[in-house]
Copies of this chain bind each other. A is one copy, B any other.
């Protein structure tokens, strides 16, 4: 049932929002800009500039190389913070390192090596491109086959789809907990159980899930996961990624990039690679400390909010957005390109429109609303419950409606638009 769609109703929901106070913990440099792209790059936490400045001046500038005695453990320390506050994992199961792509490569290779003889990698046909490409590379190098799971472009996969595709030739399944385009949320526990039955590993990409929906890696029986920290985790542009390996699997799995941060007793610098017995074996090289440092203040705010309250607000924002789209945008040629059931979605929503590229660009330049375009014809809008208000969703969609109704986007020359 659709609620009250007035702006006043949105204002009232903001007043009642238990997370409303946390918006002040972010830099809102331009109050006129409506930012609905926190699913791509999260906002700057207000505490981050000072934290970084201190790190640069004190830890680097003054302490110099001596700071490595603490930095050396940051990948693991930040991993434990993520495990506790975001990922539902145990201490020692998560590290922060490298990019999501490199982490996915490492864990996918480790899983394939641990499942020799099986010929198939299973992946959502609509999986984020880097994941698909990486698996194509691993398959090419090993003579394996990547089988894509065709899913409804808007509704996404269900655990049943996955279960039906599984057989004893599947070595590895790679899926996003929240799909990057449709926002479809998959039930981790159901997929993990189905895969375990046939002896396949599941490697989760949590990039759009971490910080937006409750993720219970340990409780859901997850084996492997990776994800980025620059979306709902607000770690900054290109912030280092995380990886998770279930404790019971760590001694059994080996990743292919044998760098010195994965070495047992790293500074002995012995002649032979001898991987650390624990999660450290999934590390490779020296981590980018400035980028790691931005994670702490971001996680502070997230821990304070708590993932359950974030999820509740995320559902509320999403439902408002869908209701407004139904009322205002359907008559203008938009269709919802995400699951309609809020329990089957993460925090972002996709709308399909034949002119989505021009609309997304005009929306930024003419209406000061930031969303993003995704091929082939999708406008993706990602309210972030830590700092997006109900009135932001209302105002953003009102501006979008007015822009399209007035045909403003049609004045943009489409040939000048670069797809990024």
Q: Which residues of chain A have a CB within 8 Å of any CB of chain B?
A: 27, 29-30, 33, 35, 37, 40-41, 43-44, 48-49, 52-53, 56-57, 59-62, 64-69, 71-72, 98-102, 105, 125, 128-130, 132-134, 136-138, 141, 228, 230, 236-241, 256-263, 266-273, 284-292, 294, 364, 370, 372, 374-375, 418-420
Contacts and interface: CB of A to CB of B under 8 A. Distances in A.
As for how many copies of this chain the complex holds, the number is: 2
A57 B27 contact: yes
Contact of A40 (B65, B69, B129, B239): B65
A370 B66 CA distance: 9
Given A53-B53, A102-B98, A136-B258, A285 B419 contact: no
B49 A287 contact: no
A44 B69 contact: no
B260 A130 contact: yes
Contact of A102 (B56, B102, B266): B102
**Top-4 shortest CB links A-B:** A99-B285, A101-B285, A137-B258, A101-B259
A105 B420 contact: no
Given A66-B364, A237-B68, A370-B64, A99 B287 contact: yes
Contact of A53 (B49, B62, B130, B236): B49
B269 A372 contact: no
A54 to B, nearest CB: 10
A102 B284 contact: yes
Contacts of A65: 37, 40-41, 370, 372
Contacts of A52: 52-53, 56, 290
B64 A273 contact: no
